[in-house]
Structure 1
Amino acid sequence: MDAGGFRTQCDEVNYYDTSDRVCLNSSATSELLPIAAMSDELLSSWQKLARNAAEPNVFYEHWALNPALEHFDTEPQLSLFLYWAGLPNKSDLLGLLPIGPFRQFGSWPVPFVQNWTHHNSFLGTPLVRKGFENQFWTVLFEQLDATSWRGFLHIRGMTVGGPLDQALRSVCVRQKRRCDLVHSEARALLESNLDADAYYAETVRSKKRKEIRRQAKRLGEMGEVTYSHVNGATGLDAWIDEFLQLERRSWKGQEGSALDCSDDTRPFFCEALTGAACSGQLERHDLRLDGKPLAMLVNFHSAPGSFSFKTAFDDDYARFSPGVLLQLENLKILGQPDIYWMDSCAAEGHPMIDSLWSGRRHIGRFSIELKGLSRTAVFRGVRLGEGLMAHIKKREIIDISQVKL
């Protein structure tokens, strides 16, 4: 596939760090770089992009995406879409998205193009330089329209209502390109101007706070209870081993979904945490009873946001709610001046975190029409089929005559 390029005028954007200003003063270019062709030459540009992204997404940063691509199955034609201010690797990187063709859309044998995620990736929002959101989508569509990839574009796991969503809809309207939000869910978000104590008092009802105090007191009667909070790589290898063992002893281990149950997820977890620590983006919490871990928590920071990636707790102590007690310690993130919000990365309606965090973040899947008669036919056929299935399953009441073709 040939890399597409276009010429544009200079756009100058104000950033928090003036050394990270960028100007399109030459021909901007885009490319679909095969995963096998990735090299360390991309690293510094990738890091700079992540620092200045319109929306943080740690799962597409190099230290999280590289081990995922190495250890998890990928489609043969999976590529990195890269949008450059000028020549590749000779200019600023303005956008990045792992993307490729797929042959099966859910249960339907329908070809389509999609951003790549995996079971331990909880966000699919592209990494795009702040101020270049519209240009990113324009160039991506231009690139995909020119490929031989069949079907429509599907973006999964993108923040609804954020800068990338707004730019996507704007570009599609301008290009008369159909774009549908086909699914969304709300997951817990921690965001407030209050400090940890005030937020806890305002968010959690008094009866539940009383019960949590009782559980903490009873746990304290069993031995010495300690909390630790560590940034960086100090003692990381031993801590990772403890986390994996704790999670495997839990219900996740019994169901086979614990990270340590798979030869793919285990090394991914170890390498992602090590990479995050080296990048200064790892935060670890744990709660211990006489030195024994009862609950452990992994956060990934990417200012101004943070992501609560993984948590594990000892089921034998479930009556003391060690996971809840540790999450109360995690509320102290509200006091960090560079972090404005934390994404729970939890499923919608999660009973524990939803009771502690009052904010909600909407994450959605978008289907976008690509140019070409056959692509349009596939897109509209799938959308009609989804509308009919929704009606049949009574997920919503629709008038079939109003389904757009």
Structure 2
Amino acid sequence: MREPSPSQESAPTSVISEPQGGEPRTPLTVECLGLSQAEVYIDAWRKLAETCAEPNVFLDPDFALPAARYLTKAPRFLFVWDGNDEKRGLVGLCPLAHPGPGEGFFPERLWTHNQAPLGTPLLDAGHAKDALDAIFAWCLKHFGTGAGLIFPMLPQEGVVAGLLRKGAAAEGREILTLDAGKRACLSGGQEPQQYLDASIHSNRRRKLKRARKLLEARGILTFQVATAPEDVRAATESFLDLEAKGWKGRRGTAFLKSTEGAAFAREVATKLAAGGKYMVVSLTLNAQALAVGLVLKSGNRAFWWKIAYDEVFAHYSPGVLLASEGTRFLLSDATIALTDSCTQGAYSMIEHIWSERMGIADVLAAVGAAHPEKFDVLARRERLRRTLRSRLKAVVLWLRQWKRGRAHAQG
């Protein structure tokens, strides 16, 4: 478990942002809080996560706080408040990554980590623009003109991306899109069978039908959904076991391969399930788990977070079969308007099931309009950093494949 150091627990820092235009309103206050300070306001945080303009379950306190304790350096949490000390409401939450050795040389960035494939800040639906303006005002005061702020893995058609573009245009601030791509998603309100018939290629549908029949010939094939907390705990353990036995276990990245990872996964399951925001979908054969998926919820949005399958049955495509049945389940839930596939790579199994795509990108925004030349230098450094990182990843991947091929040849 990662305990925050004293330097990470800063005293609250405030900046007042006056709402622009419209009816006069109480100025918004921004406080920069450390981990233990942020935990004090967990009830207000939960309420904001459930009612915000653009849902992000990975910033729900029942996900973000365990991640900050177990997985990464604790971020700096910017809490945006509306009202005075006696009666105030939380209208924005934006976690900033803890500064590294290149502080000031590269842009600041919102906090994400390997288990959180989305960087959308939480903004109250009725105060979204003002809350975002307040965050930028705080950053301008503390980071100075010419500074930049990266919003990683931001949906490009979402509320926050739209506000960023409008704000930059209105104030004359620079804004750049980096590492743009597409991510599979699933819109609610569609008839399940019609959707699957239209989105899955006929050859793949035939193969899945044949695989299902072969499995059914071996016993009772069942699709199950766990939502009750006690059922979620048992189903999550099945997922953890399957993940540890698969390629992530061999690579050492499965949750059970570290004490911190296992504690994080179990705490998130317990806490989110208690609030009805965590589901486990499973495909079982004679009560034995073939594939297990973890689905999270926030507001009217679902997130297909994780999937693991028994590699002994890989020939039967259990993960694809589970995704197909999971799609039926998600489309049958009228409370889900959109499901995010949470994919982060160029290829994903779910892309062959879900035909829809959402634009996703990192957005680098200048925190002020003054000194655009300083921001341009900062942006060039960030682009160079990303290029070098991409090339290094390619070398590592090549070496990994070379070692695997050499080991296979030696036999």
TM bin, normalised by shorter chain, reads: 0.7 to 0.9
Q: 1:201 aligned to 197, 201, 210, which one?
A: 197
2:58 paired with 1:63:
no
TM-score (ref. length: structure 2)? 0.84
2:198 paired with 1:187:
no
Tell whether the 8 Å contact from 1:10 to 1:25 is kept in structure 2 after alignment.
no
Q: Residues 44-83 of structure 1: CA distance to partner in whole angstroms, max 9, x if unpaired?
A: 21122122211110000111001001112216xx311111
Q: 1:287 aligned to 283, 286, 294, which one?
A: 283
Once the two structures are superposed, the pairs formed by residues 77-116 of structure 1 within 5 Å of their partners are: 78-87=75-84, 90-100=87-97, 102-103=99-100, 110-116=105-111
Q: Give me the whole-angstrom Cα distance separating, in 1, the residues matched to 2:204 and 2:141.
A: 57
Give the secondary-structure state (helix, strand or coil) at the position aligned to 1:169: helix
Which of structures 1 and 2 has the larger relative contact order (alpha carbons within 8 angstroms, sep 6+)?
2
Instruction: Give the C-alpha shift of residue 366 in structure 1.
Output: 1.3
Tell whether the 8 Å contact from 1:233 to 1:274 is kept in structure 2 after alignment.
yes
Unaligned runs of 5+ in 1: 13-23, 396-405
Q: Give me the whole-angstrom Cα distance separating, in 2, the residues matched to 1:241 and 1:110.
A: 43
Q: Residues 161-183 of structure 1: CA distance to partner in whole angstroms, max 9, x if unpaired?
A: 21111111111122211111122
Would the alpha carbon gap of residues 213 and 289 (structure 1) be closer, same or farther in structure 2, given more than 3 Å must change? same
Instruction: Give the C-alpha shift of residue 274 in structure 1.
Output: 0.9
Q: Give me the whole-angstrom Cα distance separating, in 2, the residues matched to 1:329 and 1:371.
A: 48
Tell whether the 8 Å contact from 1:228 to 1:285 is kept in structure 2 after alignment.
yes
Letter in 2 for 1:65: A
Letter in 2 for 1:290: N
2:231 paired with 1:220:
no
Instruction: Give the C-alpha shift of residue 109 in structure 1.
Output: 8.8
Letter in 2 for 1:321: S
Would the alpha carbon gap of residues 390 and 73 (structure 1) be closer, same or farther in structure 2, given more than 3 Å must change? closer
Q: Give me the whole-angstrom Cα distance separating, in 2, the residues matched to 1:272 and 1:200.
A: 31
Instruction: Give the C-alpha shift of residue 388 in structure 1.
Output: 7.2
Would the alpha carbon gap of residues 273 and 11 (structure 1) be closer, same or farther in structure 2, given more than 3 Å must change? farther
Would the alpha carbon gap of residues 230 and 88 (structure 1) be closer, same or farther in structure 2, given more than 3 Å must change? farther
Q: Give me the whole-angstrom Cα distance separating, in 2, the residues matched to 1:319 and 1:326.
A: 14
Letter in 2 for 1:254: R
Q: What corresponds to 2:407 in structure 1?
A: none
Instruction: Give the C-alpha shift of residue 25 in structure 1.
Output: 4.7
Q: Give me the whole-angstrom Cα distance separating, in 2, the residues matched to 1:89 and 1:348.
A: 47
Letter in 1 for 2:65: N
Q: What corresponds to 1:258 in structure 2?
A: 254
Q: Residues 102-154 of structure 1: CA distance to partner in whole angstroms, max 9, x if unpaired?
A: 3367xx99243111111000111011111322212211111111115794211
CA-atom RMSD in angstroms = 2.8
2:318 paired with 1:322:
yes
Q: Give me the whole-angstrom Cα distance separating, in 2, the residues matched to 1:385 and 1:263.
A: 36
Q: Give me the whole-angstrom Cα distance separating, in 2, the residues matched to 1:393 and 1:4.
A: 35
TM-score (ref. length: structure 1)? 0.85
**Going by fraction, where is helix more abundant, 1 or 2?**
2
Letter in 1 for 2:39: S
Instruction: Give the C-alpha shift of residue 38 in structure 1.
Output: 2.1
2:26 paired with 1:29:
no
Give the secondary-structure state (helix, strand or coil) at the position aligned to 2:238: helix
Q: 2:269 aligned to 270, 273, 286, which one?
A: 273
Tell whether the 8 Å contact from 2:280 to 2:294 is kept in structure 1 after alignment.
yes
Q: What corresponds to 1:342 in structure 2?
A: 339
Sequence identity percentage: 26
Unaligned runs of 5+ in 2: 1-11, 392-411
Q: Give me the whole-angstrom Cα distance separating, in 1, the residues matched to 2:359 and 2:104.
A: 28
Q: What corresponds to 2:236 in structure 1?
A: 240
Would the alpha carbon gap of residues 72 and 32 (structure 1) be closer, same or farther in structure 2, given more than 3 Å must change? same
2:99 paired with 1:121:
no
Would the alpha carbon gap of residues 65 and 393 (structure 1) be closer, same or farther in structure 2, given more than 3 Å must change? closer
Letter in 2 for 1:239: A
Q: 1:3 aligned to 8, 14, 20, which one?
A: 14
Q: Give me the whole-angstrom Cα distance separating, in 1, the residues matched to 2:173 and 2:20.
A: 24
Tell whether the 8 Å contact from 1:185 to 1:348 is kept in structure 2 after alignment.
no
Pick which of 148-157 and 159-168 moved more.
148-157
Give the secondary-structure state (helix, strand or coil) at the position aligned to 1:188: strand
Tell whether the 8 Å contact from 1:45 to 1:89 is kept in structure 2 after alignment.
no
Instruction: Give the C-alpha shift of residue 284 in structure 1.
Output: 1.2
Q: Give me the whole-angstrom Cα distance separating, in 2, the residues matched to 1:203 and 1:231.
A: 27
